Structure 1
């Protein structure tokens, strides 16, 4: 069963498709054949601008975690022989201070519905009973509805698609790695000796590369959204680090 056959989701898909088509037509005199790609970039920037408060909350949480570093170190020293107690005391400290070990995940999680909607828009040949003209739009000659892995498995992958989508995936991974290196937590998000069932630090580190992996499977349109959003994330965090410096 296709979830987008349900009336509420079908209406949402039609609204997204109509809005994106209208924005593409508006940008056509300026962007030409890349108008649809420019529309996706514009939508991404709008979404990220709306999520600035989430980014500020994330920066404040990172500042709090850095401030708590000495107390976390003391907890690790005191409860080194009792991993369960150590984990419980650490999470209790985060709770009292209003910090979250997973604050870095919030912007990406908040955007998941947008990425899913973009994926659906460029997946359906017909929407609300009319042809999906967005599938005819291209970026550098590559249809915005094409994906690297789907095209490869269907035997429809051509050199242009491989080059454009492959470059986009590499750029997403490069920006993610740069972000990870610049904003590596000063203290472990999970205390030393904690059970393996809670690998927060590893999860946050791998999250950057998971975005590039997702771009391998989704349409080029959704991959473009991901590239713009990870680039925005890097720039925003650089700015917020100056506004909310973490103690050394």
Structure 2
């Protein structure tokens, strides 16, 4: 069974196709053959702009969790031999403060279907029964439906494809490195006592590791860009740039508390 032929899925793809082709048509008099690529960037910006309220909520939640770190450590120390009570007390603390250890997942969950739709639109020869004219669109002379890995496997890799994907991956990797440097764990955080809850719930000592893991994920994004259609790669590059700028602005608006210095 063709998943993309399922009527609700086909209708969503057809609607997205119409919007994308409409935007490309509006932009074509201004920027010519790159209008479809520009439409993808514009849609990415619109999606991210719509998610600004969730980003603000994330920043507030991150600030709250950092403020709660000493209390979390006290709970871990007090109930380290009673995993069930430890779990209850940690969840109660989060609930009392109106936050959650998983509060940062919403933007990623919302964006996943968008990336999926863009991916589908640039791999399907037909959309809801009609030809997919998006496959004829290019960026830098490279079809938006082509991928670096696909051309490499088929032995059809061209110079323009190599150059475009090299720039795309470089941009994502540079943004990942800047993100890693700007949002590295605050000095002094490592001096806090480490207590690993047996329940597996994240504790304060896990937050630096979580930050490093999230930074590493952006490098994974650079690798993913080599395997997806160029259109999806443009979406990924645009969204990581937006995310970095947004996080920098929100970190200034909602700064994290500086942990106390370790006693000499």
TM-score bracket, normalised by the shorter chain, equals 0.7 to 0.9
Verify: 1:52 aligned to 2:59, yes or no: no
1:120-157 alpha-carbon deviations (Å, 9 max, x no partner) = 00011122332211111111111111112222222222
Q: 1:219 to 1:100 in 2, by over 3 A?
A: same
Q: 1:162 to 1:197 in 2, by over 3 A?
A: farther
Give the aligned CA root-mean-square deviation in angstroms.
2.5
Displacement after TM superposition at 1:185 (Å): 5.3
Moved more, 51-60 or 210-219: 210-219
Verify: 1:193 aligned to 2:196, yes or no: yes
Secondary structure of 1:93's partner?
A: helix
Q: Runs of 4+ in structure 1 displaced over 6 angstroms? A: 196-200
Structure 2, unpaired ranges of 5+: 259-264
CA contact (8 A) 1:83 1:193 kept: no
1:172-201 alpha-carbon deviations (Å, 9 max, x no partner) = 13212322332345569xx74245967872
Q: 1:157 to 1:53 in 2, by over 3 A?
A: same
Q: 1:169 to 1:196 in 2, by over 3 A?
A: farther
Displacement after TM superposition at 1:4 (Å): 0.9
Q: Distance in 2 between matches of 1:135 and 1:16?
A: 14
Q: Distance in 2 between matches of 1:42 and 1:97?
A: 37
Q: TM-score, normalised by structure 2?
A: 0.83
Pick from 195, 206, 222: which aligns with 2:232?
222
Q: Distance in 2 between matches of 1:154 and 1:121?
A: 21
Q: Which residue of 1 aligns with 2:65?
A: 65
Q: 1:103 to 1:177 in 2, by over 3 A?
A: farther
Moved more, 88-97 or 77-86: 77-86
1:89-114 alpha-carbon deviations (Å, 9 max, x no partner) = 43442233222223333212210000
Secondary structure of 1:101's partner?
A: coil
Displacement after TM superposition at 1:80 (Å): 5.0
Q: Which residue of 2 aligns with 1:17?
A: 17
Displacement after TM superposition at 1:55 (Å): 0.3
Q: Distance in 2 between matches of 1:216 and 1:197?
A: 34
Q: Which residue of 2 aligns with 1:162?
A: 162
Q: Distance in 1 between matches of 2:84 and 2:181?
A: 30
Q: TM-score, normalised by structure 1?
A: 0.88
Structure 1, unpaired ranges of 5+: none
